[in-house]
Amino acid sequence: MDVTGVLNQVFVGLSRTVILFIVSSGLSLILGVLRIPNVAHGSLYMIGAFMAFTLSKLFGGGDMGFWMALIGAPLAVALISLVAERGIFQYLYEREHLMLILLTFAFSLVFGDLVKIVWGGEYKSVPVPYMFQGFIPLIGGLPFPLYNLFLLVCGPIIAILLWLLVNKTKIGKIARAAAVDMEMVGAVGINVSWVFASVFVIGCLLAGLGGVLVAPTVSVTLGMDHTLIIEAFLIVIMGGLGNIWGALLGALIFGLSQSLGILIWPQFGIIFPYLAVVIVLIFRPTGLLKATW
């Protein structure tokens, strides 16, 4: 195992981290502000990927199709989540966590069947846009796909946008205040209900965005939500419930422990991220960063 091999795996692991971060930051945002452990978050990721398939096909499947999907699919997911929030979730914020888990779990089953009705059971594939096809040689000549490079650019942009949203905008400030004391925020005359709706929609939009970004690298299929939601929850738990930077840290640990684990022991590379979760939770049972719960 040499230095170039390690560096390669780090780069590859980082591009995996981007998707995990985008999806789990949305999950964490909703957990932190709305206190909803949204199990259906993975379904929205899956719907994002299927939407990307449809939109990309609609616009000719090339570069244009990809960019339209990148904009359109998250918005479509946001719209679905807005309907769900206004229709159902807004009445349930005060309920027990168990009830919310059951409810969102039910939603994940409903969304799964809806996807099957709309798109059918076949595997779908979203082509990699022409401009990102192929690969560049990294250090030591090992190939690094251009699309993964694109993901590496997307990650920091989204992290910065999220930071700006949470820290610099009015809605971000209100949301943070509401997370600490919802009643007080309502008492000073702010319409908490709509703040919550906005946060929910933004969180779900991130799930949809993750779905679009992952779509060109995998087959879009029923069941892609299940693996992801478990990983996203583990990341959020590891980072600290409700803390967006915790999600970033968790995603980094998860993605890197996987890619570096493969280097150490390819046959059992699968266990390293989960091992990392166990170790983190033994030493920091409430997560690495401060949880908002």
Contact residues: other proteins, CB under 8 A: 5, 8-9, 12-13, 15-16, 19, 37, 39, 61, 97-98, 101, 105, 112-113, 116, 120-125, 127-128, 133-135, 140, 142-148, 214, 216-219, 221-224, 226-230, 233-234, 237, 241, 258-259, 262-263, 266-270, 281, 285-287, 291, 293
CB 131 within 8 A of CB 244: no
The CA distance from 188 to 216, in Å, is 47
CB 233 within 8 A of CB 66: no
Decide whether 87 or 137 has the Cβ nearer to other proteins: 137
Pairing of strands 219-220, 124-125: antiparallel
Question: Please, what is the minimum distance in Å from the beta carbon of residue 262 to other proteins?
Answer: 5
Decide whether 70 or 213 has the Cβ nearer to other proteins: 213
Question: Please, what is the minimum distance in Å from the beta carbon of residue 286 to other proteins?
Answer: 6
Question: Please, what is the minimum distance in Å from the beta carbon of residue 122 to other proteins?
Answer: 5
Decide whether 75 or 218 has the Cβ nearer to other proteins: 218
Decide whether 85 or 231 has the Cβ nearer to other proteins: 231
DSSP 81-140: HHHHHHHTGGG-TTS-HHHHHHHHHHHHHHHHHHHHHHH-SS-EEPPPPGGG-SEEE-GG
Question: Please, what is the minimum distance in Å from the beta carbon of residue 125 to other proteins?
Answer: 4
Phi and psi for 77 in degrees, rounded to 5?
-65, -40
